[in-house]
C-alpha cells in the first residue's frame, strides 16, 4: 500500500474556533465546503460516508509506536449534501459530521486534512507548526504554501514521490493508523530458505537486503543508494515478518491473553528496533565503500556510546590527553526518525562540540531544526529527503 492508494485528492484548511470543541460549536459542520466538490463531487441528495477522525501532534507521537497518550481514531459517519438543493439557482454545500467526531484535542488554526478514497472519509486534525504537520504538507504537496493556508479549503492531487521514499511515506501512514501491506514481487522462497523461516540478526538481514537489491556499491550515488538499500530491507522485512507472525498465530501457542499481548509487543519492538539498526548497517557500508575511517558503537564517557566516531575511538581517547586532536574528531548519531530523541546525542562524546545527526525523517519542523542549531546539532539528510525541508 502507498499513500496514493489511500488518497487521490486531499483538501486542507486551518480550523476556525467554531469548528472545534463541544463547548464552542454546536453546528457539527465544517466551514468553507464549496471547494469539497473537488473531493466528493456534486452531492446527489444526502450522501452518507463512513468517516475516521483523529488528532496528530508531536507530543502524542513522541512515544510512537507505543504511546499511551495517543488517542485511537474515532469512527462514525459524515453527510455530504446541498442545503439549497431545491433552490433554482443557489447552492450551499455542507459537510455534516456526527457529534462523536468532535476533535476534542484540536485548537484554533490547527491544520485540518480531509481525504476520501471513494468510500472512506478521513478527517485529520494536526497540531500547528509541528513536525507531523510539516511532513503531511510535504507529502500532500503543500510544503511551499504553509503560511498561505487559511480558513478556506485548498485542494491538491496526491502524487507518488518515487520508490526511494515509499518507506518514508509508510512511516507516516503508520502514524495515521493505516496498515502497510507487504510488497508484491518479493521472492519469499529464497528469503525463507536463506534464514530457515526465522528472523536473522539485523546485520545478516542488512547484508542479504543489499545483495538482493542488485546494487553492490554506494560509490557515485551514496544518498540514493542509502535510501534504496534501507527501503529494500524494509520491504523484505515486512514480508518475512508477515509470514513468520502468521505462522505463529495459526499455531495458536498462547496460554492466555497476557501471553498474546506480550508476543504482540515483542513484534512491534523488534520492528522499530531493527529499523534503526538497519539504517546504521547501511550507513556503515557507505563508509566502507568510501574508505572512511570510523568506529561504531564505542564507549566515550560513562555509558555514552555514539553511533559513529570518525576517525576512530582511539583518536577520541587520545584527545582527552591532547586537546589539539579534538578538531580532527567527528561524531555522528543516526536515527530513522528524530522526534524528541535527537537530544540524546547532545550528551554523547563530550569532547566534540558540534554533533552531527543523520536521519531519514522528512520535513522536521522549522522550530525543531532551529532548536537543533541552538544545541549545536548539525542535521544530515539524504538529498531526496532534503527536498522536503523548508
Query: Which residues are CB-neighbours of 153 under 8 A, at least 6 positions away?
Result: 11, 12, 13, 32, 33, 35, 36, 114
The answer to whether the CB of 263 falls within 8 A of the CB of 251 is no
CATH topology of domain 188-289: Restriction Endonuclease (3.40.91)
Q: Where in the chain is the domain with CATH 2.40.330?
A: 3-171
Find the range with the poorest average confidence among 99-108, 127-136, 184-193, 283-292. Answer: 99-108
**Nine-digit cell string for 246:** 502468521
Please list the residues that pair with 111 across neighbouring strands. Answer: 14, 126
Query: Which residues are CB-neighbours of 115 under 8 A, at least 6 positions away?
Result: 6, 7, 9, 10, 39, 121, 122, 124
Reported as a single tens digit per residue, the pLDDT across 139-156 is: 787 866 666 788 889 888
Q: 165: how many CB neighbours lie within 10 A of its CB?
A: 22
Instruction: Please tell me the distance from the alpha carbon of residue 352 to that of residue 331, in angstroms, as a whole number.
Output: 7
Q: 229: how many CB neighbours lie within 10 A of its CB?
A: 24
Please list the residues that pair with 114 across neighbouring strands. Answer: 11, 123
Mean pLDDT, the chain, rounded, equals 84
Asked if residue 235 has pLDDT above 80, the reply is yes
Residue 18: band (very low, low, confident or very high) from pLDDT cuts 50, 70, 90: confident
Instruction: Please tell me the distance from the alpha carbon of residue 74 to that of residue 231, in angstroms, as a whole number.
Output: 31
| CA distances for 136 relative to 92, 133, 388, angstroms | 29, 5, 10
Query: Which residues are CB-neighbours of 23 under 8 A, at least 6 positions away?
Result: none
Please indicate whether residue 252 or residue 173 has the higher confidence score (pLDDT).
Answer: 252
**Domain 295-386: CATH class, spelled out:** alpha beta
Handedness of CA 283, 289, 294, 298 (dihedral sign): positive
**Domain 3-171: CATH class, spelled out:** mainly beta
Instruction: Please tell me the distance from the alpha carbon of residue 337 to that of residue 357, in angstroms, as a whole number.
Output: 11
The dihedrals phi and psi of 165, each to the nearest 5 degrees, come to: -105, 5
Asked if residue 62 has pLDDT above 60, the reply is no
Reported as a single tens digit per residue, the pLDDT across 113-141 is: 998 888 889 888 888 988 888 888 887 87
**Nine-digit cell string for 19:** 469548528
pLDDT at 184: 63
Q: Where in the chain is the domain with CATH 3.40.91.80?
A: 188-289, 295-386
Find the range with the poorest average confidence among 171-180, 182-191, 228-237, 325-334. Answer: 171-180
pTM value is 0.80
The answer to whether the CB of 355 falls within 8 A of the CB of 376 is yes
Amino acid at each position: 500500500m502507498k499513500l496514493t492508494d489511500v488518497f487521490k485528492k486531499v483538501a486542507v484548511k486551518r480550523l476556525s474556533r467554531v469548528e472545534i470543541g463541544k463547548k464552542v460549536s454546536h453546528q457539527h459542520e465544517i466551514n468553507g465546503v464549496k471547494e469539497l466538490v473537488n473531493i466528493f463531487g456534486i452531492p446527489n441528495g444526502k450522501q452518507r460516508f463512513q468517516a475516521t477522525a483523529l488528532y496528530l501532534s508531536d507530543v502524542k507521537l513522541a512515544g510512537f509506536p507505543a504511546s499511551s497518550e495517543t488517542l485511537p481514531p474515532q469512527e462514525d459517519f459524515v453527510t455530504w449534501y446541498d442545503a439549497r438543493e431545491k433552490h433554482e439557482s443557489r447552492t450551499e454545500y455542507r459537510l455534516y459530521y456526527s457529534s462523536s467526531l468532535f476533535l476534542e484535542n484540536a485548537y484554533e488554526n490547527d491544520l485540518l486534512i480531509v481525504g476520501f478514497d471513494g468510500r472512506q472519509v478521513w478527517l485529520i486534525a494536526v497540531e500547528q507548526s509541528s513536525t507531523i504537520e510539516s511532513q503531511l504538507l510535504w507529502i500532500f504537496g503543500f510544503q511551499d504554501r504553509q503560511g498561505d493556508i487559511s480558513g478556506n479549503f485548498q485542494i491538491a492531487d496526491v502524487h507518488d514521490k518515487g520508490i526511494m521514499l515509499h518507506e518514508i511515506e509508510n512511516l507516516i501512514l503508520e502514524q495515521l493508523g493505516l496498515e502497510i501491506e507487504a510488497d508484491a514481487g518479493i521472492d519469499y522462497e529464497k528469503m525463507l530458505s536463506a534464514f530457515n523461516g526465522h528472523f536473522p540478526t539485523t546485520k545478516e538481514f542488512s547484508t542479504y537486503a543489499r545483495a538482493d537489491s542488485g546494487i553492490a556499491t554506494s560509490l557515485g550515488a551514496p544518498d540514493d543508494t542509502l535510501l534504496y538499500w534501507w527501503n529494500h530491507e524494509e520491504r523484505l522485512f515486512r514480508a518475512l515478518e508477515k509470514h513468520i507472525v502468521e505462522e505463529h498465530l495459526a499455531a495458536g501457542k498462547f496460554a492466555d491473553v497476557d501471553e498474546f499481548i506480550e508476543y504482540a509487543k515483542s513484534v512491534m519492538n523488534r520492528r522499530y528496533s531493527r529499523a534503526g539498526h538497519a539504517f546504521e548497517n547501511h550507513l556503515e557500508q557507505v563508509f566502507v565503500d568510501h574508505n572512511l575511517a570510523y568506529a561504531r558503537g564505542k564507549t566515550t564517557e560513562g555509558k555514552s556510546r555514539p553511533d559513529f566516531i570518525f576517525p576512530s575511538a582511539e583518536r577520541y581517547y587520545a584527545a582527552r590527553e591532547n586537546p589539539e586532536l579534538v578538531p580532527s574528531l567527528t561524531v555522528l548519531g543516526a536515527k530513522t526518525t528524530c522526534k524528541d530523541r535527537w537530544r540524546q546525542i547532545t550528551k554523547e562524546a563530550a569532547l566534540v562540540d558540534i554533533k552531527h545527526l543523520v536521519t531519514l525523517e522528512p520535513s522536521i519542523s522549522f522550530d525543531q531544526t532551529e532548536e537543533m542549531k541552538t544545541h549545536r546539532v548539525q542535521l544530515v539528510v539524504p538529498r531526496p529527503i532534503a527536498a522536503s525541508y523548508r
